[in-house]
Each structure stands twice: as C-alpha cells, then as structure tokens.
Amino acid sequence: GVGKTGKVRVCLKGHGGGVFSVAISPDGSEIVSGSCDKTVRVWDVKTGKEKVCLKGHVLDVTSVAISPDGSEIVSGSSDKTVRVWDAKTGKEKVCLRGHDGWVYSVAISPDGSEIVSGSDYKTVRVWDAKTGKEKVCLEGHDDWVDCVSISPVGSEIVSGSFDLTVRLWPRGVAAGPGT
C-alpha cells in the first residue's frame, strides 16, 4: 500500500534533462526512465543506483515500456524511432523505423510478441517484436496519437489522440481508416 508518511522512499538522480516516461519491471526490482537527455536509464529500486544507461536515440525519449518477462525494454523517441533493448546488457537489439513523426507512446503485448507505437503523424503502428518488421499501420486519428495501450488479454489496442478521441482497434486485424 501507499506509505502513510507521504515521504519519498527513493529519489533517482542521473538524467540530464526532464523525464518523460517511467515503467516498473514485472518483479518490481527495477525502474526504467526515458528523458529529454536522449537516454533510457535502468535503476535498482532497492539501492536507488543506476544499473545501465541506454544510448542510441538522437532526440528526446518520450516513452518507455518493459516486456512482460522483464527481458526487454522498448523506447519511443522524437527521433521517429522505436528501439528494443536487452534489459540486462543495455545493448540495442533492433531499431524500428517507419513513423513520419515523433513517437509519443509505446506498449508491449501481454505475450511480448508485438510492440505498438503512436506518433504525432496521426498513426498507430504495430510491430513484430522479434523481427522489427511493421505488421500494420492504423490510420483514422485526425491529430497526434499521444498514448497507446494493449488490453491485458491482448485482443485489442487502444489509442488516445489530440483529436479528442479514444479509439479501440482489434489486434491482429488490419483495420482501415476511421475504424
């Protein structure tokens, strides 16, 4: 539960710019953060120490997610890329390219097989997590897509946009415009 004192348990310092996104590992032992300093950092929850700093993005890291088994980290950036990293070594496994604008949000399917990303180019893209190949581009939003998520059972994708809508997409189906 939430602490009764209201005091911070751990304060993680090390980024050289504002933090846009955070995620907690499935076992609760690590925190991952993405920052406008172009890095993704992995932190040890118990010690508060930085474990690894992931470098590769050339602009702000706007979103981070951790795979269900904790083995991979996914990051989205204003450099128009989505990157998949090995959570233990910090090595980049694959760079997903295809967005025409900033990537604002990333999510990983419950089975870890797909990555979903939303961008300021009004699209949601679904990627094969292993090969890095784009599976489908979902179009229909009229403004940037600021957030994406995948249902816990993995059957649907949800996206939120500055067009004032939230859209629900069937996962695994190449939905068309306006769906």
Confidence (pLDDT) at 5: 74
The answer to whether 98 and 134 have CB atoms below 8 angstroms apart is yes
| pTM for the full predicted model | 0.91
Eight-class DSSP state of 17: S
> pLDDT tens per residue, the chain (179 residues)?
556 778 888 999 999 999 999 999 999 999 999 999 999 999 999 999 999 999 999 999 999 999 999 999 999 999 999 999 999 999 999 999 999 999 999 999 999 999 999 999 999 999 999 999 999 999 999 999 999 999 998 899 999 999 999 999 998 754 444 43
- Secondary structure, 3-state, 135-161: EEEEECCCCCEEEEEECCCCCEEEEEE
How is the chain split among helix, strand and coil, in percent rounded to 5?
Answer: 0, 50, 50
Spell out the alpha helix ranges (H) of 6-153. none
